Amino acid sequence: MEYKFQVNLTGIIDLLSKHTYSSPQVFIRELLQNASDAILARRYLEPEHQGEMLIESLRGEDETPVLIFRDHGIGLNEEEIHLFLATIGQTSKRDEWFVQSDDFIGQFGIGLLSCFVVSDEVVVITRSAKDNQKTIEWRGRADGTYSLTVLDRQIEPGTEVRLRCKDGNEEYFQPETVQRLAHHYGSLLRFPIRFSDGNETILINDVRPPWEQEFLDSESERAAFMDYGTTLFETEFFDYVQLNSAIGDVHGVAFVLPYSPSLAMKKTHRVYLKNMLLSEQTEGLLPDWAFFVKCVVNANDLRPTASRESFYEDETLAATRAALGAQLRQYLIDLREHSPGVLRALIELHHLSFKALAVDDEEFFRIFMKWLPFETNMGPMTLTEYIESHKVVRFVSKLDQFKQTAAIAAAQSLCVINGGYTYDGPLIEKLHDVFPNIQLIHVDANRLFLGFKYLTLAEQSEVEKFIALANQVLQPFECSAEIRSFAPAELPALYHASPDVLFKRSISATKEMVTGLWSSVLDEMAEGIAADSFARLCFNFLNPVVYKIAGISDENLMRHSIELLYVQAVLFSHRPLNVKETSLLNESLLGLIEWGADAFEGWIQ
Amino acid sequence: MSENRERAYELLEESLRLDDGDERIAVCEDAVREADLSGDLQTRYRAREHCLRAHVFGGAPEKGLVGFSWLLAQFDGNPGEFSEWGILWKYKWILSLICDFPQIPKARIYEMLGDFETRALRAGYGLHAVYHYRYRTEKFWDDKESAREYFQKMIELSPDELSNCSACLKDEMVSSAIYFNDDARAVELAQPLLDGENKCASVPHRTYADLLLPMVRLGRQQEGLHYHRAGYRLVANSRGFFDRVAQHLIFLTLTENFERACALFEKHYPWTEHNWDSLHLFHFFRASWFLFYVVSEKGAVSHVGSLRSFGIYHDLDYQAFCLASKFKEQAEDLAKQFDLRNETDFFSRTLRETPALQKWCAPFPLGE
């Protein structure tokens, strides 16, 4: 023997209002969906049936707001009413039910559930369009009890749902709110939705979206699309692209954003499913690179997930995404011929999208790479501008390396591209593969050092003592010293540290303040770094101060000078000083002051 | 200086507009430099908090460790100055990555878990999060018995504010089902996550990847292809998910989508450079080995095309079998380090059992 649980409706409604229907206004969406399903079902029987819906807002006897939703759909007979009741409580989610079956009756019940969130009593008056049926009234209460009456009067086939405002939900029963929400969810529905507040009746979905309209000329078409975007998103968009995909049966429009979106921003779109608003936050509709547009589309053949904020990742979605992506890509390519001015402005705004696509799309790369802007140590420029004045393309692949090398490279008239940004490095690295005649040089501080001139033997002997002392002074700082000739002459010394060395530096700086457990952890981490990975300090033989210091005989003075040049070079490389270096700075400064005072005294005497 | 302070905050704001990755790390590190120059402790702390997040989620966990120890020292040294919940929350990030470093001894990791437990209790939280991380740690070195014990203890407690978000907790149920050999249950548990009912910065990213091998074992490769498609997009551009990329690589090998597998391998190989996360490296080397092993066994691709900027075999053709043995060696080396520290043979065993995965290989073309 099988038994069924007695489901407590009050409990379910309570749960629903707290979770699934956390926004009570969805009852309007659900009732529109019910009406839409009912009208579609009736059209199976009567293909010519147009169907429409009327929403009435009125006041009950005690001034309680009442809403009536009336449709000319298929209606329900007595048996079907019992059926939909049976589904209440089985699942609270229409989409879940939808996945399991195409059963319209079951969905009807699920849709009604949401009404109990705003109304203690729901009255359904319905008459089936099938056969010659009687009009039935179902009166359901939130405590789970209901009554069923066969009415004497007959209504037109269809369904009428009456809701009485539950205390605390008045705002969802205000005529303006109901009108606005009905438009919000149902503006694309293909049957007329009218709204009446007792005085006048208006058509809510009076305008079809522009992609369903025909236009006389391209100007009025453009105006219609752009206006639609402005009204929908309260944004003056830059441009628009029509979207159509036979797969997924998707139609709509992508609006080009008038600002550069941040990379971390969620790329969401407004999506209708079978003409009902699914979500304004749908993700995953477009390829990842297409973050320069905001879309509004209607999809007939995509399957939403329960959250309504994305679609099931299946072949259909993948193919739809590819088709929509191809249209956006083609739009960009076509601009090149038809509106180069627009393209220029678009690249300025959305070069990140261009770059994101070009990384993985060789043909696109071939077309657009030359116009894309990059940062260099001589200001921003496009690749074309760069290549016009430089034979080889020099680039740095990390942001912090760029800072270290930019000034030195500039002093040697080398123009270097900053490849540290998300797409820039991979794009530059691809250059040679696509255009074999372009020569690439990956620049880092080490490589710049290679370009510095070695000293002659005679010069070397001049600085021998200086370098020996510098190596001795810098040993505790895990830094080696060398000397070369390089531009600019004003720069006395350059400090360079590899990533490993920098990591070691940060460990030792942090260790100065950490004890116990974490001190051991830091030690263990440091063990992983080769003991001989030293930073490099390269003195500039062309610098007059360095030259002078290298020649002085007072070893103490030479020592303090080396210490100060070291500290200065570290700071110049954008590295903070650690405790040891800060005290070195203080000691050597004091040492120099003392030396100066002594010298001054001697000079006075 | 107030100028540095302002600059630090500007940079932090800028970093929020970026995705996790190198660029965000660089901007955050800049912010830390400016903050340090400002000398203002609040700013320095705030900047390091952001930087820690960037390091942990952007694939630079070694730097995250250093940053965290700074934060913790400041937190302890300035009572009442900084959020206790904040530092404990970040402590969990560290606990979730500390095992990835075989240079950190087992005893130290237990010491850290104990420290976290003491701090959590002192702050008035329950043991849910503590047991959670104890479970994950035991699972890391495959002490099944202890892992099960802590898992049981965890699920008997109610989550509190120190527990991971509900998406992460559900994801943990999925991966524990896989760990305890119940693939079918894992797939079932994962559905709400894949439907988007709960999500966060790393779920369903991890979920999709974790399910790939179970889908193959269940003979549900076709659905697995969807998971690959949906999941790979989520992890493809973030080094923090390098280990997950490896799972996709294995899946593509098992479904004989060799061309796509090689393309993925090529795209992600540069992530091995300057990478301190030995666990991620282990997974990637293992997956690459398996790919090239299968490819050369089957004679599907004899050598691999334009592998630019490779630090390996500069002058040779990239023949599949050469690559296979190279990556096998690298994975074995890491496995030894892990097993030595872990005092188990889990990593070497995983490697030994890898070629046998080939029995699941069957063509399931991905299509467009």
Kindly state whether B274 is in contact with chain A, defined as any CB-CB distance less than 8 angstroms.
yes
Which of B23, B16, B22, B20 has the alpha carbon at shortest distance from B46?
B16
CB–CB of A525 and B66 under 8 A? yes
- Please report the pLDDT score of residue B368 as a whole number: 57
- E strands along A325-410, which residues? 373-374, 381-382, 392-396
pLDDT over 50 (residue A474):
yes
pLDDT over 90 (residue A265):
no
CB–CB of A518 and B274 under 8 A? no
Residue from the list B18, B73, B229 with its beta carbon closest to the beta carbon of A513: B73
- Please report the pLDDT score of residue A7 as a whole number: 61
**Cβ neighbours of A312 in B, within 8 Å:** 226
User: Which residue does chain B place closest to A498, by CA atoms?
Assistant: B274
CB–CB of B227 and A313 under 8 A? yes
Looking at chain A, the whole-number percentage of residues with pLDDT higher than 70 is 92
**Cβ neighbours of A575 in B, within 8 Å:** 33
Which of A331, A378, A366, A337 has the alpha carbon at shortest distance from A350?
A331
CB–CB of A306 and B196 under 8 A? yes
Give the per-residue SS3 of A466-518. Answer: HHHHHHHHHHHHCEEEEEEECCCCCCCEEEECCHHHHHHHHHHHHHCCCCHHH
User: Which residue does chain A place closest to B13, by CA atoms?
Assistant: A262
Kindly state whether B333 is in contact with chain A, defined as any CB-CB distance less than 8 angstroms.
no
Give the per-residue SS3 of chain B. Answer: CHHHHHHHHHHHHHHHCCCCCHHHHHHHHHHHHHHHHHCCHHHHHHHHHHHHHHHHHHCCHHHHHHHHHHHHHHHHHCCCCCCHHHHHHHHHHHHHHHHHCCCCCHHHHHHHHHHHHHHHHHCCCCCHHHHHHHHHHHHHCCCHHHHHHHHHHHHHCCCCCCCCCHHHHHHHHHHHHHHCCCHHHHHHHHHHHHCCCCCCCCCCHHHHHHHHHHHHHCCCHHHHHHHHHHHHHHHCCCHHHHHHHHHHHHHHHHCCCHHHHHHHHHHHHHHHCCCCCHHHHHHHHHHHHHHHHHHHHHCCCCECCCCCCCCCCCCCCCEHHHHHHHHHHHHHHHHHHHHHHHCCCHHHHHHHCCHHHHHHCCCCCCCC
Kindly state whether B19 is in contact with chain A, defined as any CB-CB distance less than 8 angstroms.
yes
pLDDT over 70 (residue A177):
yes
- Please report the pLDDT score of residue B305 as a whole number: 54
User: Which residue does chain A place closest to B274, by CA atoms?
Assistant: A499
User: Which residue does chain A place closest to B199, by CA atoms?
Assistant: A307
User: Which residue does chain A place closest to B104, by CA atoms?
Assistant: A524
- Please report the pLDDT score of residue A97 as a whole number: 41
CA distance B19 to chain A (A): 5
**Cβ neighbours of A399 in B, within 8 Å:** 22-23, 26-27
- Please report the pLDDT score of residue B45 as a whole number: 97
CB–CB of B37 and A521 under 8 A? no
Q: Which residue has the tokens 């997009």?
A: B233
Report ipTM for this prediction.
Answer: 0.91
> How many A/B residue pairs have CB atoms within 8 Å?
118
- Please report the pLDDT score of residue A132 as a whole number: 77
Q: Does the N-terminal peptide bond of residue A210 adopt cis geometry, omega within 30 degrees of 0?
A: no
What is the end-to-end Cα distance of chain A in Å, rounded? 120
- Please report the pLDDT score of residue B22 as a whole number: 87
Is the distance from CB of B66 to CB of A507 less than 8 angstroms? yes
Is the distance from CB of B112 to CB of B189 less than 8 angstroms? no
Segment A66-82 mean pLDDT:
89
Structure confidence by residue, pLDDT tens digits, A106-150: 567 777 888 888 898 899 999 998 877 789 998 988 777 788 899
DSSP single-letter state for residue A193: E
Residues 230-269 of B with CB under 8 A from A: 230, 233, 237
User: Which residue does chain A place closest to B101, by CA atoms?
Assistant: A525
pLDDT over 80 (residue A9):
no
Least confidently predicted of A146-155, A218-227, B48-57: A146-155
Structure confidence by residue, pLDDT tens digits, A295-349: 999 999 888 876 677 888 888 898 999 999 999 999 999 999 889 999 999 999 9
From the candidates B16, B23, B200, which should be mutated to test the interface with A, based on the most A CB atoms within 10 A?
A: B23
Residue from the list B33, B73, B233 with its beta carbon closest to the beta carbon of A576: B33
| Bridge partner residues of A68 (DSSP) | A56, A162
Q: Does the predicted model carry a pTM greater than 0.90? A: no
Least confidently predicted of A406-420, B69-83, B87-101: A406-420
Structure confidence by residue, pLDDT tens digits, A144-168: 778 889 999 888 999 999 999 988 8
pLDDT over 80 (residue A437):
yes
CB–CB of A524 and B226 under 8 A? no
Structure confidence by residue, pLDDT tens digits, B168-178: 999 999 999 99
- Please report the pLDDT score of residue A96 as a whole number: 45
| Bridge partner residues of A270 (DSSP) | A296
- Please report the pLDDT score of residue A68 as a whole number: 95
Cα(B40)–Cα(B86) distance, integer angstroms: 19
- Please report the pLDDT score of residue B366 as a whole number: 87
A209 Cβ contact list (under 8 Å, min separation 6): A188, A228, A252, A253, A296, A298
